[in-house]
Amino acid sequence: MRSTGSARADASDDFLRARRRQGASRLARWVGRGPGDLHLILPFEEVVAALGRVGERDLGEQVIPLDTIVGTVDRPRGFDRSFRPTSGQVRTRWERIAGAMRRGEPLPPIETYRVGEVHFVRDGHHRVSVARALGLNDINAHVIEVSTRVGAEGTLRMADLPRKGHERLLRERVPLPAQAWARIELSEPDDFGELAETVEAWGFRHSQERGELLDREATAAAWFAEEYVPGVELLRESDLIGSRETEAQAFLRLSGMRYKLMHTHEWTGEALDRLRTTR
């Protein structure tokens, strides 16, 4: 942290330096044709709506890493995802806080929500921005943890929200335990809906065979134990899981071909080779 001995002058330099870094980041993204939402600050309500709010609990005051703060509860304005100022409108308050930090004045903890691996600022946007600009790694925060049906990774972007929304719907329709979900990795939004329909269709047939109607939890557990796990084992034994697909993607792909498979009378090496080429 550079210092001229004048906290006011240094704070002004800090702001201009942060603005230059924000401009350089935008230029680099434009030149490199990077994703347009890479540096967009995440809006809390939209993220939680996509992930599916389950509940919340107050964790009290903690020290949290600054680089995990990527979103805001307010309208996303004034700062980018890295909390660099995006305009001069925040300058006056920004420099006042920077001067206070440089003088070592105590500041109250920021107010945040934690969702998965990331944090959203409810109060303290300028303090986060200044702390990052001054090269700090951590900040004191009052944390409220919001639990959701689908987790939020540190790399979460706006473009991920539609896929996350489809994943949330799948988890609501197919309520599996966490250890089972750890094995089901899908990337395409449509795959989540297709898998949900596959499980529900299987559950309907299974209930008819048993002569009793199973609820969603029982159906999901039975499908995973009796259909998914054995099916994936067969796919592995037959070398039908591609190097660029997950076991869940392979299972879903082959499930879609089940009608054809049921009418395949001769299981030869050539038949399996033809299936492998559909990957």
Q: How far is CA 81 from CA 3, 59, 73, 76, 103, in A?
A: 27, 24, 13, 9, 27
In 41-148, beta strands by DSSP E = 42-43, 53-65, 69-72, 110-115, 118-123, 138-148
Say whether 235 sits in a helix, a strand or coil: helix
> Given a cut of 70, is residue 232 above it in pLDDT?
yes
Output DSSP code: residue 134. T
The whole-number pLDDT of residue 268 equals 54
Orientation of helix 91-102 relative to helix 125-133, angle to 10°:
60
What's the pLDDT tens digit per position in 114-158? 999 999 999 999 999 999 999 999 999 999 999 999 999 998 988
Q: Could you read off the pLDDT of 157-169 as tens digits, one per residue?
A: 888 899 999 999 9
CATH topology of domain 7-157: 3.90.1530
d(CA 157, CA 176): 26
Over the stretch 11-43, which tens digit does the pLDDT of each residue have? Answer: 677 777 777 776 666 665 555 555 555 578 899
What sections of 90-160 are H helices per DSSP? 91-102, 125-133
pLDDT at position 15, please?
77
What tokens does 25 get? 């980041």
For CATH 3.90.1530.10, the residue range(s) in the chain are: 7-157
What is the structure's pLDDT at 273? 60
| Model confidence at 62: pLDDT above 90 | yes
